Amino acid sequence: MSESSDAQVDVAGWLDGARVATTIRRPVGDVWDFLLDIEQTPTWRTHLGTVSWADAGPPRMGSDIHVTTSLLWYRNVTMTCRVTHLDPKAGLFAYRVVEGPATTENQYRVTQENTGTRFVMQGRLLLDSWLMRLTGPALKFAEDRMARREVDRLKHILEAN
């Protein structure tokens, strides 16, 4: 079962998004490897069409990620995300949309727990236009529901293998 928390808008206009946590009965290394195999992301984040590394070689800070998704009335929206944190020892992988219709930041954290791996997914959205400020609360509600389903799907996929 996943858990979530309430969101708030900070002074810079960032709306805290969903923070969903669960325990996955798999070793930390397995969960970490699955998260960094980002071509697998659409299997658990089903609103995403394709996800791929833009850069050759192993992922690193500053690596770009290409994402296609459907967003509201737009089909096949292309976004570029940039890795902002990548620390296997701390179990932290984070990225930010740098090109796309909305500025979001997402963070995945994995830590060892007695029964497996504690996984936390957290996001936030920049309310940088009147339209984003107007629709932010509805987007937050939709994101919370979607994030809970995604984390539950991730747990199911990893525990089934």
Please report the pLDDT score of residue 124 as a whole number. Answer: 79
DSSP 95-112: EEEEESSS-EEEEEEEEE
pLDDT in tens, 2-38: 444 444 544 455 567 778 999 999 999 999 999 999 9
Buried b (16+ CB within 10 A) or exposed e, 41-55: bbebbeebeebebee
pLDDT in tens, 35-94: 999 999 999 998 889 999 998 888 999 999 999 987 666 578 899 999 999 999 999 999
Answer with the residue of higher pLDDT: 32 or 138.
32
Q: What domains sit in the chain, N to C, each tagged with a CATH number?
A: 14-160 (3.30.530.20)
pLDDT in tens, 99-136: 987 788 999 999 999 989 999 999 877 766 666 666 66
Please state whether 34 falls in left (phi above 0), alpha (psi between -120 and 50) or beta: alpha
Sequence-distant (6+) residues with CB within 8 A of 2 are 20, 21, 22, 148, 151, 152, 155
